[in-house]
Amino acid sequence: MKIVADSNVPFLNGVFEPYAEVVYIDGKKISRQDILDADAMIIRTRTRCDRNLLEGTNVKMIATATIGTDHIDLKYCSDNGIEVHNAEGCNAGGVMQYVFSALYGVAARKAIKLDDFTFGIVGVGHVGSLVEKMARCLGFKVLLCDPPRAAAEGEEAFCSLEYLLAHSQIVTMHVPLDETTRNMADKDFFDLMPVGSIFINASRGEIVDEDALMQSLPKFGGVIIDTWKNEPDINEKLMDMVDIATPHIAGYSYQGKQNGSAASVQAVARHFGIEQLYDFYPEADKSGHEPVQLDLKGKKQGEVAAVFQYNYPIFTDDFRFRMQPGNFERMRSEYQYRREIYVE
């Protein structure tokens, strides 16, 4: 059995070696030649798995240590008997932490009072649900837009996108990338948002029409961008215009990386019957990375901001990225994973 794995997926070294030949390659450089005789792949978003890569290979299973699957041609895989497994919800806690550290950081820098703001969440899956929980804990009125969930669960808890945009002073995006969400944040989208509102995108860069965002920027109280079109060759003009810019690291928590790697290992193990790894979960290789429970109830905005910045000083990531945007991939691969926060 042979496995080709992205060398940037953490916690993998030594795990499969007793049971398989394992070849580690930078995910951007994995070629068809590399996987001709591979049975499985363990990847991230940087490996585009489609006909061009997979046709004529022995690959039977692809595990991606990410929530998203937009880098994988799911139809091709289904038509050709290739099982695909993603790590649903693996980095949800990290993205939630990013959203609130960024929001309260920008509000503090720009003296924006959040007391009467309504919090609009577009996409209420694993990430959006944790964002909702934190927002309600902090006393925000929350609006939710998630058409698939509304159709399955009833519309009572949800609203239309148009209503959410018109009535929210904070809008944060947590949708998957597909043909229904590509460029959904366009001129009409931004025109509906109130003057002085805050826009956050930590899902996929392709859901935003970046030209429309740049044209709309003067109306916003704050703009926070973690994901970009054409990564790693991002729009540096947009980067210079927004309040916080980071290199697609919102979900880079220690627990998120443990979860993503665990899900991938378990999926490959179960597909090929490696029983010893069915319940694999990587041990922490550093102390001090345990999740931290926060008690935020009753705290003033400045106190909340201080707590978020203490646990994740987000402006450090923003500063490093602005100094060397050409090192997008290096910053991601060498990122020092942070510990997550949560509330009960």
Alpha-carbon distance 255 to 50, whole Å? 29
Percent of the chain with pLDDT over 90: 96
Per-residue H/E/C for 251-308: CCEHHHHHHHHHHHHHHHHHHHCCHHHCCCCCCCCCCCCCCEECCCCCCCHHHHHHHH
263 located within any domain: no
Partners of 245 in beta bridges: 225
**Domain interval for residue 69:** 2-86
User: Do 119 and 209 have their domain in common?
Assistant: yes
**Residues 154 and 303 grouped into a single domain:** yes
337 and 310 share one domain: yes
Query: What's the sign of the alpha-carbon dihedral 213, 214, 219, 225?
Result: positive
- Selection from 211, 197, 205, 206 nearest residue 241 by Cα: 211
Looking at residue 186, the DSSP 8-state letter turns out to be: S
Separation CA 173–CA 202 (nearest Å): 6
Which amino acid makes up residue 290? E
Q: Is residue 261 part of a domain?
A: no
Question: Domain end: 86, 111, 130, which one?
Answer: 86
Residue 244 confidence (pLDDT) above 90? yes
Same domain for 317 and 224: yes
As a whole number, mean pLDDT of residues 149-161 equals 97
What pLDDT, in 10s, does the model give residues 180-221? 999 999 999 999 999 999 999 999 999 999 999 999 999 999
Average pLDDT, the chain: 96
**pLDDT band, residue 290 (cuts 50/70/90):** confident
| Structure confidence at residue 288 (pLDDT) | 73
* Residues 70, 112 within the same domain: no
Structure confidence at residue 297 (pLDDT): 86
* Residues 107 and 234 reside in one and the same domain: yes
Would residue 266 count as lying in a domain?
no
Partners of 24 in the β-ladder: 5
In this structure, the answer to whether residues 10 and 103 fall within a common structural domain is no
332 touches 227 (CB < 8 A)? no
Confidence band, pLDDT 50/70/90 cuts, at residue 335? very high
The reported pLDDT for the residue numbered 1 is 96
Identified catalytic residue from 48, 83, 231, 320: 231
Give the chain's domain count: 2
Q: Domain for residue 217, yes or no?
A: yes
- Domain co-membership, 187 together with 52: no
Catalytically annotated residue among 248, 332, 338, 339? 248
> For the residues 276-283, what does the mean pLDDT come to?
96
Last residue within a domain, chosen from 33, 54, 86:
86
* 329 labelled catalytic: no
Residue 288 falls inside a structural domain: no
Taking the model in full, what pTM does it have? 0.92
**Is 338 domain-assigned?**
yes
Kindly give the interhelix angle for 126-137 and 92-109, rounded to the nearest 10 degrees: 40
For position 63, what pLDDT does the model report?
A: 98
Token pair belonging to 131? 């964002």
> What average pLDDT does this structure show over 268-277?
98
Is 236 noted as a catalytic residue in this protein? no
Choosing from 204, 332, 338, 339, which is the catalytic residue?
204
Q: Determine whether 71 is an active site residue.
A: no
Are residues 159 and 30 part of one domain?
no
Is 165 inside any structural domain? yes
Domain-terminating residue out of 71, 86, 101: 86
Give residue 286's pLDDT: 66
Mean pLDDT for 59-75 is 96
Q: Are residues 224 and 307 in the same domain?
A: yes
148 and 162 share a domain? yes
Which tokens hold the place of 245?
């810019």
* 129 and 144 assigned to the same domain: yes
Q: What's the rounded mean pLDDT across residues 145-169?
A: 97
Look up the CATH number of the domain holding residue 63: 3.40.50.720
